[in-house]
Amino acid sequence: MIWVVVPALDEAENLVELVPRIAAEVLAFDPLGRVLVVDDGSTDDTGKVMARLMGDLPCVELETHRHNLGKAAALQHGFARALDGGADVVVMMDADGQDDPAELPRLLARLEDGADLVTGARLERHDRFVKRTTSRLYNRTTGLLSGAPGRDFNSGFKAMRADVARDVSPMLYGEMHRYLTVIAHGLGHRVAEVPVQHHARMRGSSKYGLNRFWRGMSDLVTVRFLLSYEHRPSHLFGGIGVLSFLAGMVCLVWLTGLKLVAGLAIGDRPLLIAGVLLVMVGLQLTLFGLLAELVVNARNRDPGRRA
């Protein structure tokens, strides 16, 4: 059973046209398929438009947030409803008409071929120059830092097996939707890309500015950290801390030797400040790592939580 989740913020004028097209594609594949629009606190006519669409098309459903929770949370709630509804395959797709519903069969075919998550890669983009350039840089950096294969991580057009949707859901908060592919890859799922047609936004305006690039980079550090060190934070903090402490101690022992053996004055040497700083930072980081271990340990003792 296929569920298509469409997060939408003020996209009424696009939904009118887009939802019937998505519904037609889905039903051609699966007569029981559903299209779920997640209206995330829209202030336009989304409610009215959706009421009409649901009257006309029985496969269309709506989830409404009273205020804006963000795209990641919208996807998380959409995935939860799809999984409760018995989805085997969950598809996500933007509501601005940039993703072409006619490409759906190609994504589903790649899933059939053995991938767990397939991204519709927008290799020829219809966006402004600045966005295309920052996006290329962002994709290169993400690929390098995460080790995940792909050229278009942030595409909003993806199809995945139900267990992928279930596994990535706890990480879908803030603006983490950009790293869904990286997270799935980090959790051991096979991720793949198929090139798809990309169109200019049909109507309305973009919901993200250029500051998405900086926010995205900071989220990438978070994702990388969580995937590698969530259960063993002291290996990171303790590791750097011990190195820093040892480097500081070498400086200080060397200076003590100079003072005691050669009788030289060491009070005005920059190395003294560096040594003290390295020792202090090393101790702080090691203790910080141990505190982080306490958090992990306490969470694991809680029987209600999965490690």
Ligand X SMILES: Nc1nc2c(ncn2[C@@H]2O[C@H](COP(=O)(O)OP(=O)(O)OP(=O)(O)O)[C@@H](O)[C@H]2O)c(=O)[nH]1
Q: Which does 164 bind (CB under 5 to 8 A by kind): Mg ion, ligand X, none?
A: none
The DSSP symbol for 99 reads B
- How far apart CA 96 and CA 20 sit, in angstroms, is 14
Is residue 98 near Mg ion by the rule CB under 5 A? yes
Q: Give the residue closest to ligand X by C-beta.
A: 206
Q: Which does 7 bind (CB under 5 to 8 A by kind): ligand X, Mg ion, none?
A: ligand X
User: Crossing angle of helices 46-56/12-29, nearest 10°?
Assistant: 30
Q: Which is nearer to ligand X, 11 or 103 (CB)?
A: 11
x/- map, 240-279, ligand X, by CB under 6 A: ----------------------------------------
The torsion defined by the Cα of 213, 214, 219 and 220, in degrees rounded to 10, comes to 70
Amino acid (one-letter) located at 42 = S
* Interface stretch with ligand X, choices 3-11, 25-33, 108-116, 257-265 (CB under 6 A): 3-11
x/- map, 52-91, ligand X, by CB under 6 A: ----------------x-xx--x-----------------
The torsion defined by the Cα of 84, 178, 5 and 85, in degrees rounded to 10, comes to -10
Q: Which is nearer to ligand X, 94 or 193 (CB)?
A: 94
| Cβ atoms within 10 Å, residue 86 | 11
Among 25, 40, 61, 96, binds Mg ion (CB under 5 A): 96
Residues 111-170 that bind ligand X (CB under 6 A): 127, 156
**CA dihedral over 190, 217, 204, 81, signed as positive or negative:** positive
- How distant, in Å, are the alpha carbons of 92, 110, 126, 171 from that of 99? 10, 17, 11, 24
**Least Cβ distance, residue 40 to ligand X (angstroms):** 3
Task: Name the residues that contact ligand X, by CB under 6 A.
Answer: 7-9, 11, 38, 40, 68, 70-71, 74, 94-96, 98, 127, 156, 201, 206-208
